Amino acid sequence: MSQSLADVLLQWERLEEEYHNIQETHRMYLQKLDEISKLQKSCFSAICLQRTKLQEMSSNVKKCSKVLSKENSLEMKDKIKMQTNALLEMEAFLPRKNGLYLSLVLGNVNVTLLSKQLKFAYKDEYEKFKLYLTFVLLLFSFICYFFVSYRFLDALLNFLLVWYYCTLTIRESILITNGSRIKGWWVFHHYISAFLSGVMLTWPDGNLYKVFRNQFLAYSLYQSFVQCLQCYYQSGCLYRLRALGERHNMDLTVEGFQSWMWKGLTFLLPFLFFGHFWQLFNSLSLFRMARLPVCTEWQVLVCSLSFFILFMGNFFTTLAVVHQKLKKRNQKTKIL
C-alpha cells in the first residue's frame, strides 16, 4: 500500500515538472509570437516606405532621361521593376487586411499563410477541390441528360453549381491574398457563373425551359470535361514550378517546364476555344428565344446576356494570356 502511495507521489512530482516545462515553453511561444507580430509590423511599414521611394525614383529617372544615357536609364528602370516585384513577393508573407469581399464573407480574420509549404498545400487543395466537384457535376449532368428528366433534379444541379462557384470565389480571394497571380477576370467569371446558375434555378418549368434544357445540360457536360483537362494542366504546372523552386536548378529545368507548359497549352486551347464558342451559341439561342412573342420569362434574356459576357471575357482573356506567354518566350529566346 505504502509502496503504491510512493509511486503515485513520484508520478505526481513528474507530472508537475512536465507541467512547469509546458508553461515555460508556452511562455516562450507567446513571447516569440509577440516578437513576430512586431517584426511583421516593422517589415510592412518598411515595405510601404520603400515602395513610395521607388515610385519617386521612377519619376525622377523619367525626368532625367535626357541627361542619363539610354543604357543607364534602362538599367535603372529594370532594377526598379525588379525591386517592386520583390516587394510584392515579400508582402505575400505578411498579414494584411482582407478585401471587401472576404471581409463581408469571413469577417476580419487573417487568411495569410506564412510559409511556402502552407501556400502550396492550400493551392493544391483548391485544385483537388475543383477536380472532385467537377467529377460530381459531370456525373450529375450525365444523369440529367441521359436518364432523368425531372425539374427538381435540374434545380439541385443548379443549386450545386451556385454553391460551387461561390466557394471558388472565396477560395480564389484567399489565394490572391496569399500572392497568387490569378487574373481578376477568372474570379469575376466565377461570380457571373454563380449568378447565371442562380437565374437558371429560378427559371420556371415551361416550354421554353424544356427547349433549352438539353442544350444547357450538354454544355455543362462539356464544360466539366474541359475543367478536368484544365485541372490536370494547372496541377502539372503547380508541381513542376514547386520542384523548380525547391531545386534552384536554373536553365535546363526552366526550359523543361516551358516545353511541358506549351505542350499542355496547345493541347488545351482548342477545347477551351470550342467551349467559348459554345457559350456564344447559348447566348444567341437564348436571345432568339427571348424575341419570341410567347416568351414571358425574364430569365431567358438575363441568361443570354450572362453567356455573352462569359464568352467575351473568357475568349479575350485567354487570347491575352497566350499573347503574354508568347511575348515572354520570345524575350527569353532573344536573351539566350
Interface ranges with ligand COA (CB under 6 A): 123, 175, 180-182, 186, 223, 226, 230, 233-234, 237, 268, 272, 275, 314, 318, 321
Contact by Cβ (8 Å): 295, 289: yes
Contact by Cβ (8 Å): 129, 171: yes
Nearest-approach distance from CB 74 to ligand COA, in angstroms:
26
Which stretches does DSSP call E strand in 40-193?
none
Nearest-approach distance from CB 305 to ligand COA, in angstroms:
17
Nearest-approach distance from CB 89 to ligand COA, in angstroms:
11
Measured from the CB atom, is 80 or 272 closer to ligand COA?
Answer: 272
Measured from the CB atom, is 48 or 326 closer to ligand COA?
Answer: 326
The radius of gyration of the chain's CA atoms, rounded to the nearest angstrom, is 27
Cell numbers 508537475 label which residue? 16
Nearest-approach distance from CB 234 to ligand COA, in angstroms:
5
Rounded to the nearest angstrom, the gap between the alpha carbon of residue 144 and the centroid of all alpha carbons in its chain is 29
List the one residue out of 176, 173, 177 whose CA is nearest residue 190: 173
Measured from the CB atom, is 209 or 233 closer to ligand COA?
Answer: 233
Take residue 169 and report the three cell numbers written for it: 470565389
List the one residue out of 269, 286, 283, 270 whose CA is nearest residue 312: 283
H-helix segments, 180-297: 184-202, 207-247, 251-290
Angle ∠(27,30,36) on CA atoms, nearest 5:
140
Measured from the CB atom, is 134 or 318 closer to ligand COA?
Answer: 318
Report how far residue 265's alpha carbon sits from residue 269's, in angstroms, rounded to the nearest whole number: 6
Nearest-approach distance from CB 176 to ligand COA, in angstroms:
9
C-alpha to C-alpha distances, 66 to 56, 63, 74, nearest whole angstrom: 17, 8, 12
- What is the number of the residue whose Cβ is closest to ligand COA? 275
Measured from the CB atom, is 268 or 312 closer to ligand COA?
Answer: 268
Measured from the CB atom, is 68 or 244 closer to ligand COA?
Answer: 244
Report how far residue 180's alpha carbon sits from residue 144's, in angstroms, rounded to the nearest whole number: 36
Nearest-approach distance from CB 283 to ligand COA, in angstroms:
13
Nearest-approach distance from CB 332 to ligand COA, in angstroms:
15
Measured from the CB atom, is 54 or 272 closer to ligand COA?
Answer: 272
Contact by Cβ (8 Å): 255, 172: no
